[in-house]
Structure 1
Amino acid sequence: MKTLASGPLPSPQQLRYLVTLGEFGHFGRAAEACAVTQSTLSAGIIALERQLDAPLLERRGAKRPIFTPLGLDILREARHALAALASVTEAAAAARAPLSGPLRLGVIPTIGPFLLPRLMPALRENFPRLKLWLREDLTDRLLDSLAAGKLDLLLLALPVGTAADIDTLAIAEDPFLAALPLNHPLASLPRIPSTALGGESLLLLEDGHCLRDHALSACGLPGASAGEGFSATSLHTLVQMVAGNLGMTLLPRLAVDGGVLSGADVCLRPIDGDRPSRTIGLAWRGRSVRAGEFKGLAPVIAAALRPAP
């Protein structure tokens, strides 16, 4: 059996083909993402298999790629290898001019639309040579892109579970508020007792949005589910459901300050208790040579997160 020591190492392009195929689960879409033909991508992966003298994909007429157990192991290592290669150029760029040039930032949907309008002007003012590329997505997919070297930094809600080789920095607390229909019995109270939430029909974001779990955990309601089976894909939709008298929900102060209630007939009340909130922070690959730069962004982000006067 051949070993890597007896032949050339896999090329970055071969690893990129493999990682992109793992991400898209489709040869055509993976080839399009790599800006090559499908036959070129397939040939590159076959060449990698021959080089490793090991099958990475099952080939029994399946319409979608199925990775062998070894293929899944190689896929994971390929992600780490590409991230390590990316850190080489990052180190050189950071040494030349900190916080300048491209920075690929991932942000979750319950933060991006409400913070970025305030944050972007501050970043341009403080770091005029920084070229920021943004991607909005759910936490799990952002973490996958970070691990694969497709993103440099994430702005999201902490904690992020047990993601391996990820460093995080908490920046600020974002309190939760109760949003209720105008005719809701609790709307007459100046503050909503957290104990009263357990018996209410809560409207929540659908599974996959970390805000769902963070809100329920912060308010001491683990395991609660969406009222009457309803859920939404955005905070704006949740607000309209509340305005439609379908139930109440929990909103982060950041979204309220960002105008999520604009035009909606909704009653907003603070929640009594231990000031339930989510933690907003940054996440990057462990041992990144740009960790110092990322930490340098924290004060600017914290200032943008402060509630409007």
Structure 2
Amino acid sequence: MTSSWIPPSFTLRQLAYLVAAAEAGTIAQAAERMHVSPSTMSDAITELERLLGTRLCVRRKSQGLTLTSAGDRAVADARRLLRDAQELQFALGTTAGELVGPLAIGCYPTLAPTVLPPLLSAFSTAHPQLDITVTEATQDLLVELLDSGRIDVAFVYDVQLPARVHRTKLFELPPHILLAGSHPLAREPFVRLEQLADEDFIMIDSPPSSTHMRSIFDARGITPRVRHRTQNPDVVRTLVGRGLGYGMLIQRLFDYSGATGFPVVMKDIVPAVPPLAVDLAWSTELPLTSRTEAVVAFARAVAWPEIPAVPET
């Protein structure tokens, strides 16, 4: 029986050059990443446009490369084809049950100290032939990276995630207050937000954490007096330790500030505030690879930190 399947006139290499150019924004940068000359890459994309019969991008020296609507579609489809081709290569080149190849993990920065150690130790040890890379980024950027296939999974907070992102809940963390060790409330078992309403607030300003915190204050009818904003939780701890204000964080990390002479203490909030769930997310529009399935199963099995319940009164 003669096959009716007709091979395409374009090549995977041409598709790879188009995707690289779209991600880099310029032919020159993309060519450098792909270790080819700019003219080679430019000619390949031009030939791809000729074979497809449509313009895929607009190239301007001063403004870089901009995809057309057809180019957007081509890049999205090209990523899937390249991903499938790569998976075929891995599948045929490895023994059954063996995990080999790249695994790109995304992580919201404040979650990294909690979720990365078990992944880069126990999981990596169990699958030594995996090439694991980690990208720390804001939540909106992590969703974009999932959509494009540039990362396979992402550890995120379960806030403002689009429906097209599938997720599995790993654990929950209630926010807590940070106070200087010398603060008058430092010896109290719990803290009410109303007790801090007139004090300076050191705010972690990185969505979705900041969005969640604002909702907590709004629910109590409190407008915090923000003295400083930062995306770095260590900056919050440092400034709080020096008595410059109080802070609110979600992640409960070991604190080294006592060694510097500026200790901080963590205090649960009463009445209890809603906890924030930590999820492992992946794209519903891309097929799961065996590597992605393995990291999802591992994350579900990890004994993530359990935070004691906070009194409601």
1:266-281 map, 5 Å: 266-281=264-279
- The answer for the alignment partner of 1:205 in structure 2 is 204
Contact 1:178-1:250 within 8 A present in 2 as well: yes
Once residues 295 and 23 of structure 2 are traced to their aligned partners in structure 1, the CA distance between those partners, rounded to angstroms, is: 26
SS of aligned partner of 1:303:
coil
Q: Report the TM-score, using the length of structure 1 for normalisation.
A: 0.77
Contact 1:101-1:130 within 8 A present in 2 as well: yes
- The answer for the alignment partner of 1:131 in structure 2 is 130
Q: Evaluate the alpha carbon distance shift between residue 141 and residue 227 of structure 1 in structure 2; reply closer, same or farther with a 3 A threshold.
A: same
- The answer for the alignment partner of 1:51 in structure 2 is 51
Give the superposition deviation at 1:271: 1.2
Q: Evaluate the alpha carbon distance shift between residue 30 and residue 203 of structure 1 in structure 2; reply closer, same or farther with a 3 A threshold.
A: farther
Does residue 191 (structure 1) correspond to residue 190 (structure 2)? The answer is: yes
Q: Evaluate the alpha carbon distance shift between residue 67 and residue 115 of structure 1 in structure 2; reply closer, same or farther with a 3 A threshold.
A: closer
- The answer for the alignment partner of 1:112 in structure 2 is 112
- The answer for the alignment partner of 1:177 in structure 2 is 176
Give the superposition deviation at 1:280: 1.6
Alignment partner of 1:285 out of 273, 283, 286 = 283
Contact 2:19-2:78 within 8 A present in 1 as well: yes
Q: Evaluate the alpha carbon distance shift between residue 154 and residue 233 of structure 1 in structure 2; reply closer, same or farther with a 3 A threshold.
A: same
Give the superposition deviation at 1:92: 6.2
Once residues 22 and 264 of structure 2 are traced to their aligned partners in structure 1, the CA distance between those partners, rounded to angstroms, is: 44
1:17-36 map, 5 Å: 17-36=17-36
Which of these two proteins has the greater Rg computed from alpha carbons?
A: 2
Unmatched runs of 5 consecutive residues or more in structure 2: 309-313
Contact 1:86-1:149 within 8 A present in 2 as well: no
Greater displacement, 291-300 / 277-286: 291-300
Contact 1:118-1:304 within 8 A present in 2 as well: no
Once residues 276 and 30 of structure 2 are traced to their aligned partners in structure 1, the CA distance between those partners, rounded to angstroms, is: 36
Q: Report the TM-score, using the length of structure 2 for normalisation.
A: 0.76
SS of aligned partner of 1:133:
strand
Q: Encode CA deviations 1:174-200: one digit per residue, 9 max, x unaligned.
A: 232111234556546431225556666
Paired amino acid for 1:22: A
Q: Evaluate the alpha carbon distance shift between residue 211 and residue 184 of structure 1 in structure 2; reply closer, same or farther with a 3 A threshold.
A: same
- The answer for the alignment partner of 1:236 in structure 2 is 234
Once residues 50 and 96 of structure 1 are traced to their aligned partners in structure 2, the CA distance between those partners, rounded to angstroms, is: 41
Identity %: 24
- The answer for the alignment partner of 2:296 in structure 1 is 295
SS of aligned partner of 2:109:
coil
Once residues 92 and 193 of structure 2 are traced to their aligned partners in structure 1, the CA distance between those partners, rounded to angstroms, is: 51
Give the superposition deviation at 1:110: 0.9
Matched residues, number: 297
Greater displacement, 21-30 / 75-84: 75-84
Paired amino acid for 2:170: I
Q: Evaluate the alpha carbon distance shift between residue 65 and residue 295 of structure 1 in structure 2; reply closer, same or farther with a 3 A threshold.
A: closer
Greater displacement, 183-192 / 279-288: 183-192
Alignment partner of 1:265 out of 263, 266, 278 = 263
SS of aligned partner of 2:303:
helix
Once residues 307 and 132 of structure 1 are traced to their aligned partners in structure 2, the CA distance between those partners, rounded to angstroms, is: 33
1:239-258 map, 5 Å: 239-254=237-252, 256-257=253-254
RMSD: 3.7
Once residues 106 and 225 of structure 1 are traced to their aligned partners in structure 2, the CA distance between those partners, rounded to angstroms, is: 31
Paired amino acid for 2:294: E
Contact 1:181-1:248 within 8 A present in 2 as well: yes
- The answer for the alignment partner of 1:168 in structure 2 is 167
Contact 1:167-1:283 within 8 A present in 2 as well: yes
Once residues 226 and 79 of structure 1 are traced to their aligned partners in structure 2, the CA distance between those partners, rounded to angstroms, is: 47
- The answer for the alignment partner of 2:8 in structure 1 is 8
- The answer for the alignment partner of 1:74 in structure 2 is 74
Contact 2:167-2:280 within 8 A present in 1 as well: yes
- The answer for the alignment partner of 1:103 in structure 2 is 103
Q: Encode CA deviations 1:105-158: one digit per residue, 9 max, x unaligned.
A: 222221223443355333256x25463513132133333333333322222322
Greater displacement, 190-199 / 166-175: 190-199
Once residues 224 and 23 of structure 2 are traced to their aligned partners in structure 1, the CA distance between those partners, rounded to angstroms, is: 30
Q: Encode CA deviations 1:91-114: one digit per residue, 9 max, x unaligned.
A: 668982165664332222212234
Contact 1:31-1:41 within 8 A present in 2 as well: yes
Unmatched runs of 5 consecutive residues or more in structure 1: none
Contact 2:258-2:264 within 8 A present in 1 as well: no
Q: Evaluate the alpha carbon distance shift between residue 118 and residue 53 of structure 1 in structure 2; reply closer, same or farther with a 3 A threshold.
A: closer
SS of aligned partner of 2:64:
coil
